[in-house]
Copies of this chain bind each other. A is one copy, B any other.
Amino acid sequence: MNKSQIESEFRKLQDYICGELELLDGKTIFKEDAWTRDEGGGGFTRTVTDGNIIEKGGVAFSAVHGEVSDAMKSQLAMTDGDFFASGVSVVLHPKHPKHPIIHMNVRYFELDNGTYWFGGGIDLSPHYVDLRAARAFHLSLKKVCDKYNPEFYSKFKVWADTYFFLPHRNESRGVGGIFFDNQNENSRLSKIQLLNFCLDLGREFPVIYREQIEFKAYDTPTLEELKWQALRRGRYVEFNLLHDRGTKFGIYSSGRTESILMSMPPMANWEYNFTPEENSEEDKTLKFLNGKIKSFL
């Protein structure tokens, strides 16, 4: 299982996810934008807009290599040498406020000294928290995790709760999910098993999102709901630009800005000290997101 095989599997995964999301949406078609990196490698960024379901989304693939940079040394505690990194990232901003924002990422990293690790995760940010939908989401993640290691789900769930958190709001970004990094021999799985875990997660992604979309039938959104959606998108921006390690690392280390910021929402809003009406759906969501997320299972 060498790096070019991993790269090729990730590229196929991107293709698979895009195909499934086009079927789910029924209207929008991904556009592909190929780019190269001066220092080595490149990627294919695929984006959609104005779908039936997806208002703005992206499924990005990249495979880059070259010398370990200063930014990588300081951020990833790495030493001199050459690296290879490949991965697939997805962020979808749905049109309907009752549909959740979703994020998925799987990635592989290796150094020429032979060390390697996998990372990734899936997390869900509903504009309106629905506990039953959140439970279904976590059950699906647990099922994939349990196929590989019975400890993965509980470990990676806590990791997501800690990671997808906005300290300056004392708010969870959403209902969590799973997040993992630095997985290699230490996970008691072989390299190929870890790759398969990542690929399984990726292939499960469109199934999981379809389940969320089809969870309930919703009416045409009200103006109040659309306004709330724009405010929650503002929070998503805050997380990505202030706290998301991938985004910050990419931006500060001269990554490709447009591919990194593919995760940004359409039409995000900020309103000074917005406080929802007591006991409204918005208020319930805000109270639920306050502090760290508890178990759903």
Contact = CB atoms under 8 A, between A and B. Distances in A.
Contacts of A169: 257
A234 interface: yes
| Interface SS of chain A | mixed
A212 B251 CA distance: 33
Nearest to A266: B269
A33 B273 contact: yes
Contacts of A56: 270-272
B258 A264 contact: no
Contacts of A242: 241, 248, 251
Copies per assembly = 2
B241 A168 contact: no
Contacts of A168: 251-252, 254, 257
B234 A264 contact: yes
Contacts of A267: 230, 267-269
Nearest to A239: B241
A58 B268 contact: no
A169 B241 CA distance: 14
Contact of A58 (B45, B47, B241, B272): B272
Contacts of A257: 168-169
Contacts of A195: none
B268 A272 contact: no
A89 interface: no
A242 B45 CA distance: 23
A277 B58 CA distance: 23
A262 interface: yes
A169 to B, nearest CB: 6
Given A168-B254, A264-B234, A272 B241 contact: no
A266 B270 contact: yes
Contacts of A230: 267
Contact of A272 (B47, B251, B272): B47
A20 interface: no
A71 B42 CA distance: 38
A49 interface: yes
A36 B61 CA distance: 47
Interface of A: 33, 45, 47, 49, 56, 58, 167-169, 230, 234, 237-238, 241-242, 248, 251-252, 254, 257-258, 261-262, 264-273
Give the top 9 A-B pairs by smallest Cβ distance, nearest first: A264-B270, A241-B241, A47-B272, A168-B251, A258-B273, A168-B257, A268-B268, A241-B242, A267-B269
